[in-house]
Amino acid sequence: MQNVSENRVLIYIFGGSGDLAHRKLYPALFNLYRKNHIKHNFAVIGTARRDWSDDYYRSTILKSLEELPGSFNQKNSFTKHFYYQAHDVTDSKHYIALDNLGIELEKKYETQGNRIFYMAMAPKFFATIAEHLKSQNLVSEKGYNRIVIEKPFGRDFASAKELNDAISDTFSEDQIYRIDHYLGKEMVLGLLPLRFSNPFFEQVWNRDFIDNIQINLNEELGVEDRAGYYETAGALRDMVQNHIMQILALTTLGAPEKMSAEALRDQKQKLFAGLQVYKPEEVSKYFVRGQYGASDIPDHEPAYRDEPNVAPNSTIETFVAGEVHIDNDQWRGVPIFIRTGKRLPEKNSRIDVVFKPRQNPIFSQPDEPNILTIEIEPEEGVALQFNGKKIGQTTDPARYQLTYQHSKAEIAQVLDAYERLIYDVILGDHTNFSHWLELEKTWKFVDAIRQYWDNNAPTDFPNYKSGTAGPAASDSLLQRSNRQWIYQPEPRTTR
């Protein structure tokens, strides 16, 4: 275990006055502070356009910590490590002021030249910031330099590559940390131990035994106040290219040689090499899109097209379901169904692994399939459905279920996704971040669908009601091969 006092770092947060910084980054940093992972030798410089004083900046941080455990004095001492510098990211001169403040704080907090640059602002600025960090000499020559990039990383392969090329002029791949916060979630981190330390899963984790896999990332909320971004993204870019593809990879990749960032990357790349990119004529067979209309509950949830800042004739999808195929020896012929959307009955993320039922040679009925469910959120646990006998003087079959769930008390103790990922950046551990080569593959997969959809506008939007599980076509996607979604939530009927 590393001596906690050795975590010396100066963190620049670009977009320090923004929503992400206040809702996620400051609480995450405070929790790391509370747990002594950062203590005396750290400082944070928040930058944004507004002209704030350090005191005002600190007061906004204090406010963002209101709900967290910890005394006022502890929170106050934490905010003393924060400094504010008004800054326009497009103005070269402003970087000189940022560097000067950095040098001063490095002396004061003895951070040994270690610098993290956190991009918590609109992606259109990432490249220009990276260029200026180099040209204005903010990249430290003494300690480490790491850049943290939020999603979205590009809006298609071409723009992602352009962005990557621009950042790569200043930072090498091992200095770049692309955040996908699903990779910091406890049960996603638990996927590899579950798969590779249990022979009774590992041995059957292939096309001989698994019939299909289902990945659900469902949201209850609508677009909220993010229409500006969402209207240019849609569910496909917002959820599939990154979170769903990363979860899919961890669910299906081959065994890494050891638990290291490099070994995991190798396996992800091998896996994505088999990812079937659809031809235009295949897209409507394998992918379904949807957009929510108003809820059935009077005056309750409006249609997407009636949300603030959404075009009244918007053709952006708020729902995607699809069938993904991996062409390799382990998975050939096994459909991986994915589903994600806004305004669904409830927020939850889960993976269902459906095993092949057998025509049982001993008993008269065919077996019911074994189903392994991995709940990512809001519950965190695992359930296994399998077959047994009804109790009593009968040989009739019965469905049994084994369940394991982390307790709420345990969950409260562990690092949350942002806390864990920021800590990984401080420790220099790349394991839970996406590599450029993974983005290259997943963007090409998504681009093929996006291009077909952009060239063929939907004619049936809105095609699901707010509070229901998406359009009927999402069920047909599975029904045509006599399958069904394992997770079938009831429509939301209350406000």
Q: In the structure encoding, which two tokens stand for residue 57, read together?
A: 């900046």
Q: In the structure encoding, which two tokens stand for residue 262, read together?
A: 């490099």
Three-state SS at 385: strand
* Cα 290 from Cα 471, distance rounded (Å): 6
Nearer Cβ to ligand NAD (20/166): 20
Hey, how many other C-beta atoms are within 10 angstroms of the C-beta on 355? 20
Among 18, 113, 143, 357, binds ligand NAD (CB under 6 A): 18
Task: Clarify whether 37 is annotated catalytic.
Answer: no
Among 11, 120, 264, 421, binds ligand NAD (CB under 6 A): 120
Rule CB under 6 A: say whether 40 interacts with ligand NAD. Answer: no
CB of 458 to ligand NAD, least distance (A): 25
Among 9, 12, 15, 321, binds ligand NAD (CB under 6 A): 15
Rule CB under 6 A: say whether 87 interacts with ligand NAD. Answer: yes
Which residues have CB under 8 Å from 67's CB, separation 6+?
Answer: 27
Rule CB under 6 A: say whether 123 interacts with ligand NAD. Answer: yes
User: Is 35 assigned to a binding site?
Assistant: no
3-state helix, strand, coil in the chain (%, to 5): 40, 20, 40
366 phi, psi to nearest 5 deg: -65, 155
Nearer Cβ to ligand NAD (123/335): 123
Hey, how many other C-beta atoms are within 10 angstroms of the C-beta on 263? 14
Nearer Cβ to ligand NAD (14/337): 14
| Number of chain residues interacting with ligand NAD (CB under 6 A) | 22
Among 19, 169, 327, 396, binds ligand NAD (CB under 6 A): 19
Cβ-contact 10, 61 below 8 angstroms: no
Rule CB under 6 A: say whether 25 interacts with ligand NAD. Answer: no
Measure Cα distances from 91 to 97, 125, 135, 323, 478 in Å: 11, 12, 12, 46, 53
Q: Which residue is nearest to ligand NAD (CB)?
A: 18
CB of 75 to ligand NAD, least distance (A): 21
State which of positions 243-272 bind ligand NAD (CB under 6 A). Answer: none
* Cα 481 from Cα 357, distance rounded (Å): 14
User: Is 219 assigned to a binding site?
Assistant: yes
Nearer Cβ to ligand NAD (15/234): 15
Among 10, 60, 118, 150, binds ligand NAD (CB under 6 A): 150
Cβ-contact 319, 470 below 8 angstroms: yes
DSSP string, 31-43: HHHHTTSS-SSEE
Which residues have CB under 8 Å from 427's CB, separation 6+?
Answer: 2, 7
Question: Would you call 427 exposed, middle or buried from its count of C-beta atoms within 10 A (0-12, 13-18, 19+)?
Answer: exposed
CB of 183 to ligand NAD, least distance (A): 13
Name the one residue in this structure whose structure tokens are 């049994």.
400
Among 7, 8, 17, 290, binds ligand NAD (CB under 6 A): 17
Task: Single out the segment in contact with ligand NAD by CB under 6 A; choices: 74-82, 88-96, 330-338, 423-431.
Answer: 88-96
Among 89, 183, 245, 376, binds ligand NAD (CB under 6 A): 89
Strands 42-48 and 82-86: parallel
Cβ-contact 468, 491 below 8 angstroms: yes
User: Is 49 assigned to a binding site?
Assistant: yes
Q: In the structure encoding, which two tokens stand for residue 452, read together?
A: 């077909």
CB of 464 to ligand NAD, least distance (A): 24
Rule CB under 6 A: say whether 127 interacts with ligand NAD. Answer: no
Of the candidates 243, 406, 430, 435, the residue annotated as catalytic is: 243
Q: In the structure encoding, which two tokens stand for residue 17, read together?
A: 């006055």
CB of 87 to ligand NAD, least distance (A): 5
Task: Single out the segment in contact with ligand NAD by CB under 6 A; choices: 146-154, 203-211, 269-277, 343-351.
Answer: 146-154
Q: List, as residue ranges, the binding site for substrate.
A: 181, 185, 219, 238, 342, 347
Q: List, as residue ranges, the binding site for NADP(+).
A: 49, 88-89, 151
Residues annotated as part of the active site:
243
Query: What residues make contact with ligand NAD under the rule CB under 6 A?
Result: 15-21, 23, 48-50, 87-90, 120-123, 150-152
